Structure 1
Amino acid sequence: MKYVLLIHSSPQPWGHPTGDTVPEHQALPKAERERLNSAFDKLLAELQANGELLGGEALGDPALSKLYRYTGRPVVTDGPYSESKEHLAGFFLIDVDTPERADEVAQVFAGPGETIELRPLHVF
């Protein structure tokens, strides 16, 4: 079962892990930040070792993106959504055996001040 983990986070400043650049994460005690970062690094290593991690990328500055909408003809506007303080910062593509495993992975990805969207891929 393939899923994409969409990482919605503050776009500035960019960094990995994204939690290091989020005020809510920075406000945590150092030991808690280190615990969360360690759990995330451990999970990434586990996903890579067992073949569940198919890939992932950080996305560029949202100020450089454009939206393409069709309203009788294609219309291009600056994007993504200026009214939001969070933007799609990146994604990871995973292939796991069960929805429960996908939930386990997403819970480790979720951190203070971030939103993780777990979405199954559409099977054609």
Structure 2
Amino acid sequence: MKYVILIHSNPQPWGHPTQLLTDEGRALGQEYHDSSDRDFDALMEELSANGEFVFAEALADPASSTLYAWNPDGHVATDGPYAETKEQLAGFFVVECATRARAEEIAAHFAQPGGTVELRPAMWGDGDDS
């Protein structure tokens, strides 16, 4: 089953990797970030080698987004961001795993200083929405 790992963060200024640009991330030393980079690279190699990695994208600044809403008179476009919160969607990874437990194990690796990770099953094909 495919799962989407949604990475929410509030880097200031907006940029990637987000953990370097959050207050919590800045408070950590370079050694922590170097170790995190090595761990991330190893995780990506593992996911690619075993076929669990599908694709991923980092997203641009939410301020660059355009929102489209429906109303009876037609579609209305407004400038983003959508959510009136500090944390915004910073990027996502799509993985394909045999079990939810494996997807949860992978998603936990994406937790980072100043961010939140959300794991959600994808609804492609006859996917269950639970």
TM class, shorter-length: 0.7 to 0.9
State the distance in 1 between where 2:93 and 2:46 align: 14
Report the 3-state secondary structure (helix = DSSP H, G, I; strand = E; otherwise coil) of the residue aligned with 2:98. Answer: coil
Match of 1:34 in 2: 34
Deviation at 1:48, TM superposition (A): 1.1
Q: Distance in 2 between matches of 1:60 and 1:31?
A: 27
In structure 1, the partner of 2:20 is 20
Partner of residue 96, structure 1: 97
Contact between 1:26 and 1:33, CA under 8 Å: does it hold in 2? no
Shift of 1:107: 0.5
The ranges of structure 1 where at least 4 consecutive aligned residues each deviate by more than 4 angstroms after the TM superposition are none
1:87-113 C-alpha deviation (Å, 9 max, x unpaired): 111111110111001101110101111
Residue 3 of structure 1 corresponds to 3
Partner Cα separation in structure 2 for residue 53 and residue 29 of structure 1 = 29
* Aligned residue number for residue 57 of structure 1: 57
What secondary structure, in the 3-state scheme, does the structure 1 residue paired with 2:45 have?
Answer: helix
After TM superposition, the structure 1 stretch with the greater mean CA deviation from structure 2, 93-102 or 53-62, is: 53-62
Q: Which residue of 2 aligns with 1:87?
A: 88
1:81–1:123 CA distance, 2 compared to 1 (3 A): closer
Q: Say if 1:19 and 1:114, in contact at 8 Å, map to a contact too.
A: yes
Q: What is the DSSP-based 3-state SS (H/G/I as helix, E as strand, rest coil) of the residue aligned with 1:109? A: coil
Alpha-carbon spacing, 1:29–1:64, altered in 2? closer, same or farther (3 Å)? closer
Q: Calculate the TM-score normalised by the size of structure 2.
A: 0.83
Moved more, 74-83 or 102-111: 74-83
CA RMSD of aligned residues (A): 1.7
Distance in 2 (alpha carbons) for counterparts of 1:61 and 1:14: 7
CA distance in 1, matches of 2:80, 2:27: 30
Which residue does 1:107 correspond to in 2?
Answer: 108
* Percent identical residues: 49
Amino acid across the alignment from 2:79? D
Unaligned runs of 5+ in 2: 126-130
Instruction: Write out aligned runs for 1:69-88 (5 A).
Output: 69-72=69-72, 73-81=74-82, 83-88=84-89
C-alpha separation between the residues in 1 aligned to 2:31 and 2:58?
26
